[in-house]
Structure 1
Amino acid sequence: MQLDLTTTETIRNSLVYASEEMGIALRNSAYSPNIRERMDHSAAIFDDEVRLLAQAEHIPVHLGSLPWGLAKTLEYCDREGIDLEEFSMIMVNNPYLAGTHLNDVTVIRPIYSSNTLVAYTANKAHHADVGGKVPGSISIDAKSLFEEGVVIDPRYLIRKNRFVSSAVTALSSKSRTSKERMGDLKAQTAANITGERRVLELVSKHGRKLFRQACAELLRKTEQLMRLRISTIPSGTYQAQDYLEDPDGHDIRLQVTLTISEERLKVDYTGTDNQVSNPLNAVYGVTLSGVYYVTRTLTGDDVPANHGAFAPITVHAPEGTILNPTFPHPVAGGNVETSQRNADLLYRAFSRAIPDKVPADSGGSMNNVMMGGTYKGRDWAFYETIGVGLGARTDADGIDGIQANMTNTMNTPIEEVERSFPLLIKKYELRPNSSGRGRHRGGTGIIRSYQGLTDNITVTVLADRGRNGPRGLFGGGRGAQTEVNLYKRARGKTQKMRVPVKVTLVLQKGDVIEIRTAGGGGYGKAGTREKSRIKADIENELVSPRLILETC
């Protein structure tokens, strides 16, 4: 059978849906609310040369790092004599090999047809607790990777289609919620087997030779399309700077230079500050994720997400900087916060070249909330992120209250929070007056507050944009800064205390922790906003009349 365009596209779309089906299997099989409800997981399929063939539209920070992480993991296995044999699976969470942070456990399955390797399936899922200093495992002050939780180098999770019990306990025994860890690991293996089944169906239908030819062709065509899209961006050099807020009070500089020429994009982070002694470092895989994500959003959603789309892009992040730290610097916050700042930074640089396609800053934080303790004789750990306002665009307001850029999770339903944990959601609403003013306003942030229903709940909040609000573009105003408030009852009165956006504290029964997330930056001058839009904002209680008068 000869390869034709129809066959290539059929195989490409079949692989894309197979990766989506992997995600469905993982979600439906998972034990923890973080995966089952928030869908904090990702899945992808690779060819036998470790080139990305297809990925589900899951979590950008996972997906961009999976190709880098798979290659690093296989290099480690080859070096250490770990054979990826048929009917096996490998697990790893070491971020310097897997590409994100310790909570994200990667599981890899080699796929064989007639004793010949034809592909890999891989997925990554955020386990709500992997040990470490605090419940949820993402601390604000860890000095080493080993303080953030259990570090697992690549090892067999499955051999001959049977679980390796020592691998399961390597993770579960270090977690405060061991039963969840075992259940979620099993869900990850189910996802890989689902993807394997679909790949083998394609190989059986089309033959191994034609399948490989089709995979090579779809990557070639994707690269050709991406080169064409890059060529439409004006050639030149474009720079930007942005800042991340260190817990000690100073700002950490991120700097990027984009060079566009001859259908290629070069990204250089020279000038970025050195790695730090807290968890805001982002491993190189996370940095790649930001580049791939932003580039894809600006070059058209018809460009498939595979190896071909990334081939014309080169990225240099000097080793020893916050965007390419050295082992064993802590990295938990780099995956969730520094990744967001990197996205804003890249958009800012691209705005110099294609201003009509780039939004203002988003809320710029995943607003991570970790809680845990002991309740009714059992340990528990809770993790979620909270949405923000998206930045406004040249032709539209920013979206209100949504997970932005490098995250793409759902919220945790209130019913699930209150059913599974000793918590009561006191408030969950859009945050008035948080959007950046402009011809098009930024999206509004969110207010979400939690009341403890038992004593001694350890809470960690890891957020950003507490000092430097999201910036607008072309005269647009800044979005509101992130705020974290603690409410405590004392002598019959409720006392409100403003606390840092990066903080660990202890709630007693009845205490409330409230997170007010940042709004998106505005686009264009506020005085040019249409009166009908202003009226709608006031009627929807998103903006107060007083604030409108102050900014017009």
Structure 2
Amino acid sequence: MAKETNPPARSLDPAGLEVLHHALASVAEEMGAVLTRTALSPNIKDRRDCSTAIYTAGGRLVAQAEHIPLHLGLMPTVVRAVLAEYPPGTLEPGDAVMINDPYISGSHLPDICLISPVFHGDTMLGLVANLAHHVDVGGAVPGSMSTVATEIFQEGIRIPPVKIRRRGKVNTELLKLLAHNLRTAREFYGDIQAQLSANDRGIARMLELAGRYGTPLLRRYMEELMAYTHRRLLSALEVIPRGTFSCEDFLEGDGLVEGPVNIRASITRHDRGLTVDFSGTHAQVRGPVNATRGVTLACVYFVVKSVLDPDLPSNDGLTRSLEVITPSGSLVNPIFPAPVAHANINTAQRIADVLLGAFARVAPERVTAAGTGSMSNFTVGGMDPATGKYYSYVETCGGGQGAKCDRDGLDGVHVHMTNTRNTPVEVIEQSYPLRVDRYGLARDSAGAGKQRGGLGLIREITVLRGEATVSVSTERTRIPPWGLCGGLPGQRAFAGISPPANRKPEDNREGEKIGNTTPVSSPGKFTCRVSPGTRITLQTAGGGGFGPPLEREPERVRRDVLEGLIERQTAEEIYGVVLTEQLAVDEERTREKRQKLRSSH
């Protein structure tokens, strides 16, 4: 290969560092744009269930797009695992490595990661990577998200680090082998090609930067950017008092057993930074809510950044003063072959809640009340008799964001560890034998407070033709999202199934969780077969409130009533705001009502 030629060396400067910071982030963002615009499955092209990032040649995170916090936080674990199998000396221009094994990469099996080296001349400048959630990777059920799996082998095909492309040539035989074990091979081929294209765009843009600055200087800027982030983290830590503060919260079962499963975290602020210790957390469970260490680390990184400095550049510098203790064989660091599919969906969100709850002990003004508490997975799949082909509808549904000291929680959004969009109703009905009967905000689901929580969502879908397998996985159906500083909890989630109107309950087959035409309440996590005409209902939890509800400005309460977010009865009985027939605030009666409520409390 030709030797690279570099421009004269230039000294580093703050302005140049900021320019390179945004240049590298824009490379990752452009990779994400290529991936979502060229993907085939709605889960990636519409919901944008994917993430992209840039790494040094040694596998340290340099920059990432504003995609999914869980993906981005655990991708360094993936890259390090790949480099252990394929050290930089074994990688060549045009290579791409594929992996999805959670016990190597950290995520769950539907998340397939592709990593490609970036060579400038004969020098390896760094790595580009993307991770995307595929709609099916085999396993016991369509969508590969069974809530009753007891070992990882039931969750789909496991891919160790393997070169899917060597020196620009795609390994079509390997792709054929993988596709042969999936229900939706067409989408798989299309999405893998989109992932390869995204990495190729990242390589091209990185080479442009290397051509402009030269490899040595670009590398120096990468190192300085990570060091700068570390310095900012140490400075931000000064707002946290020294000492240890703890919190505990619970999952509502593992999908097989409905008993509480605790997650406990203690955060110690010391001279060297932070130690986060999950000792005391429940042992790993039989059901698929076990979170690998990579998932747990991602949650820690997200919460630390959110609490200390949300504008902190996301790179390896964030991790340098953090020690994370995850006992082996626990819910937050399970031993193979424990199932893990729904840890991303539920356990990651509860870990985030626990960490925020711990920080709330010492800095409540920097955290939100508990949010909806789950990514609320909704999967329907089967054989469409009209086409004779498998389909797999995969959705994660937003809910209420927890309120903060100075603002309401957002309504119907994803919180904490996820950042996907929804699937448009039109796309669902065009792509699958499904009908969307209802989709909107769940009125009165927000936790009341001086700042109210966000509202949850309601999604109702009917299977139009053919039998289907349904998997629903949510949380906070029994333990509501907590409020802070006198704020009330959000409304609990609900999941239910209504059988076809012409079917009697006694006709149900053994094992089916369907009853009559009114939605029958189901556990928050269930997998079952349903007949055509069955309607599935999922209502996600609202966010917790912040501060006493009686301190909320009456005009804001009135506006919530006018916008249909809360009932008039709620305004009076919870907020103490009395409205006239014309829905104006009756100031005198409101003062009397609030005084009466304060006295009763």
TM-score of the pair, normalised by structure 2: 0.89
Instruction: Pick from 134, 138, 149 the counterpart of residue 156 of structure 2.
Output: 149
What amino acid is aligned across from residue 529 of structure 1 in structure 2?
R
Q: For residues 1-58 of structure 1, what are the alpha-carbon distances to aligned partners after superposition, in whole Å with 9 as ceiling and x for unaligned?
A: 2222233322222111000000001011101000000000000000112111100000
Instruction: For 1:198 and 1:500, locate their aligned partners in 2 and report how far apart those are by CA, in whole Å.
Output: 48
What amino acid is aligned across from residue 415 of structure 1 in structure 2?
E
Q: Which runs of structure 2 are paired with 1:170-209 in the superposition (5 Å)?
A: 170-209=177-216
Instruction: For 2:35 and 2:519, locate their aligned partners in 1 and report how far apart those are by CA, in whole Å.
Output: 41
Q: For residues 158-206 of structure 1, what are the alpha-carbon distances to aligned partners after superposition, in whole Å with 9 as ceiling and x for unaligned?
A: 0120110132123311111001001100100111111111111111111
Aligned-pair CA distance for 1:218: 1.2
Instruction: For 1:418 and 1:490, locate their aligned partners in 2 and report how far apart those are by CA, in whole Å.
Output: 21
**Which position in structure 1 is the counterpart of 2:82?**
73
SS for the counterpart of 2:307 is helix
**Which position in structure 1 is the counterpart of 2:507?**
none
What amino acid is aligned across from residue 542 of structure 1 in structure 2?
L
Q: Is the 8 A contact 1:26 1:187 kept in 2?
A: yes
Is residue 368 of structure 1 aligned with residue 391 of structure 2? no
Q: Once superposed, what is the RMSD of the aligned Cα atoms?
A: 1.5
Q: Is the 8 A contact 1:155 1:167 kept in 2?
A: no
Is residue 385 of structure 1 aligned with residue 396 of structure 2? yes
Q: Is the 8 A contact 2:406 2:451 kept in 1?
A: yes
What amino acid is aligned across from residue 252 of structure 2 in structure 1?
E
What amino acid is aligned across from residue 366 of structure 1 in structure 2?
M
Is residue 344 of structure 1 aligned with residue 353 of structure 2? yes
Instruction: Pick from 3, 12, 26 the counterpart of residue 11 of structure 2.
Output: 3
Instruction: For 1:494 and 1:140, locate their aligned partners in 2 and report how far apart those are by CA, in whole Å.
Output: 24
Instruction: For 2:473 and 2:154, locate their aligned partners in 1 and report how far apart those are by CA, in whole Å.
Output: 16
Instruction: For 2:347 and 2:518, locate their aligned partners in 1 and report how far apart those are by CA, in whole Å.
Output: 33
**Which position in structure 1 is the counterpart of 2:523?**
500
**Which position in structure 1 is the counterpart of 2:544?**
521
What amino acid is aligned across from residue 119 of structure 1 in structure 2?
G
What amino acid is aligned across from residue 183 of structure 1 in structure 2?
G
Please list every run of 5 or more consecutive structure 2 residues that lacks an aligned counterpart in the other structure: 1-8, 504-515, 577-601
Deviates more, 1:163-172 or 1:233-242: 163-172
Instruction: For 1:519 and 1:502, locate their aligned partners in 2 and report how far apart those are by CA, in whole Å.
Output: 18
Q: Is the 8 A contact 1:109 1:192 kept in 2?
A: yes
Q: Is the 8 A contact 1:133 1:139 kept in 2?
A: yes
Q: Which runs of structure 2 are paired with 1:460-471 in the superposition (5 Å)?
A: 460-471=471-482
Aligned-pair CA distance for 1:263: 5.5
Is residue 100 of structure 1 aligned with residue 111 of structure 2? no
Deviates more, 1:534-543 or 1:404-413: 534-543
Aligned-pair CA distance for 1:84: 2.1
Instruction: For 1:224 and 1:262, locate their aligned partners in 2 and report how far apart those are by CA, in whole Å.
Output: 14
Instruction: For 1:518 and 1:392, locate their aligned partners in 2 and report how far apart those are by CA, in whole Å.
Output: 13
**Which position in structure 2 is the counterpart of 1:409?**
420
Instruction: Pick from 32, 40, 65 the counterpart of residue 49 of structure 2.
Output: 40
Deviates more, 1:159-168 or 1:388-397: 159-168
What amino acid is aligned across from residue 172 of structure 1 in structure 2?
A
Q: Is the 8 A contact 1:489 1:495 kept in 2?
A: no
Is residue 239 of structure 1 aligned with residue 246 of structure 2? yes
Is residue 62 of structure 1 aligned with residue 71 of structure 2? yes
Instruction: For 1:108 and 1:39, locate their aligned partners in 2 and report how far apart those are by CA, in whole Å.
Output: 19
What amino acid is aligned across from residue 481 of structure 1 in structure 2?
R
What amino acid is aligned across from residue 316 of structure 1 in structure 2?
I
Q: Is the 8 A contact 2:558 2:571 kept in 1?
A: no
Q: Kindly tell me: are residues 491 and 103 of structure 1, through their superposed partners in 2, closer, same or farther at Cα, counting changes over 3 Å? A: closer
What amino acid is aligned across from residue 534 of structure 2 in structure 1?
D
Is residue 440 of structure 1 aligned with residue 451 of structure 2? yes
Aligned-pair CA distance for 1:547: 2.9
What amino acid is aligned across from residue 42 of structure 1 in structure 2?
S
**Which position in structure 2 is the counterpart of 1:110?**
117
TM-score of the pair, normalised by structure 1: 0.97
What amino acid is aligned across from residue 517 of structure 2 in structure 1?
T
Aligned-pair CA distance for 1:515: 0.5
Q: Kindly tell me: are residues 53 and 491 of structure 1, through their superposed partners in 2, closer, same or farther at Cα, counting changes over 3 Å? A: closer
Instruction: Pick from 422, 426, 444 the counterpart of residue 437 of structure 2.
Output: 426
SS for the counterpart of 2:90 is coil
SS for the counterpart of 1:336 is helix
SS for the counterpart of 1:26 is helix
Instruction: Pick from 467, 471, 481 the counterpart of residue 492 of structure 2.
Output: 481
Aligned-pair CA distance for 1:82: 9.6
SS for the counterpart of 1:64 is helix
Q: Is the 8 A contact 1:34 1:384 kept in 2?
A: yes
Instruction: For 1:455 and 1:514, locate their aligned partners in 2 and report how far apart those are by CA, in whole Å.
Output: 19
Q: Which runs of structure 2 are paired with 1:291-306 in the superposition (5 Å)?
A: 291-306=300-315
What amino acid is aligned across from residue 561 of structure 2 in structure 1?
I
Instruction: For 1:206 and 1:434, locate their aligned partners in 2 and report how far apart those are by CA, in whole Å.
Output: 53
**Which position in structure 1 is the counterpart of 2:562?**
539
What amino acid is aligned across from residue 139 of structure 1 in structure 2?
S
SS for the counterpart of 2:324 is strand
Aligned-pair CA distance for 1:239: 0.4
SS for the counterpart of 2:499 is strand
Q: Is the 8 A contact 1:22 1:195 kept in 2?
A: yes
SS for the counterpart of 2:63 is strand
Instruction: For 1:532 and 1:131, locate their aligned partners in 2 and report how far apart those are by CA, in whole Å.
Output: 53
Q: Is the 8 A contact 2:489 2:543 kept in 1?
A: yes
Q: For residues 376-398 of structure 1, what are the alpha-carbon distances to aligned partners after superposition, in whole Å with 9 as ceiling and x for unaligned?
A: 21111110100100001111111
Q: Kindly tell me: are residues 42 and 491 of structure 1, through their superposed partners in 2, closer, same or farther at Cα, counting changes over 3 Å? A: closer
Instruction: Pick from 457, 460, 469 the counterpart of residue 458 of structure 1.
Output: 469
Aligned-pair CA distance for 1:429: 0.8
What amino acid is aligned across from residue 517 of structure 1 in structure 2?
T
What amino acid is aligned across from residue 546 of structure 1 in structure 2?
Q
Instruction: For 1:539 and 1:416, locate their aligned partners in 2 and report how far apart those are by CA, in whole Å.
Output: 31
Instruction: For 1:28 and 1:453, locate their aligned partners in 2 and report how far apart those are by CA, in whole Å.
Output: 29
**Which position in structure 1 is the counterpart of 2:140?**
133
Instruction: For 1:123 and 1:490, locate their aligned partners in 2 and report how far apart those are by CA, in whole Å.
Output: 45
**Which position in structure 1 is the counterpart of 2:279?**
270
**Which position in structure 1 is the counterpart of 2:60?**
51
SS for the counterpart of 1:459 is strand
Instruction: For 1:452 and 1:302, locate their aligned partners in 2 and report how far apart those are by CA, in whole Å.
Output: 44
What amino acid is aligned across from residue 497 of structure 1 in structure 2?
V
Is residue 88 of structure 1 aligned with residue 99 of structure 2? no
Identity %: 38
Q: Kindly tell me: are residues 169 and 437 of structure 1, through their superposed partners in 2, closer, same or farther at Cα, counting changes over 3 Å? A: same
SS for the counterpart of 2:86 is helix
Instruction: For 2:537 and 2:153, locate their aligned partners in 1 and report how far apart those are by CA, in whole Å.
Output: 30
**Which position in structure 1 is the counterpart of 2:237?**
230
Deviates more, 1:516-525 or 1:169-178: 169-178
Larger Rg: 2
Instruction: For 2:85 and 2:77, locate their aligned partners in 1 and report how far apart those are by CA, in whole Å.
Output: 12
**Which position in structure 2 is the counterpart of 1:253?**
262
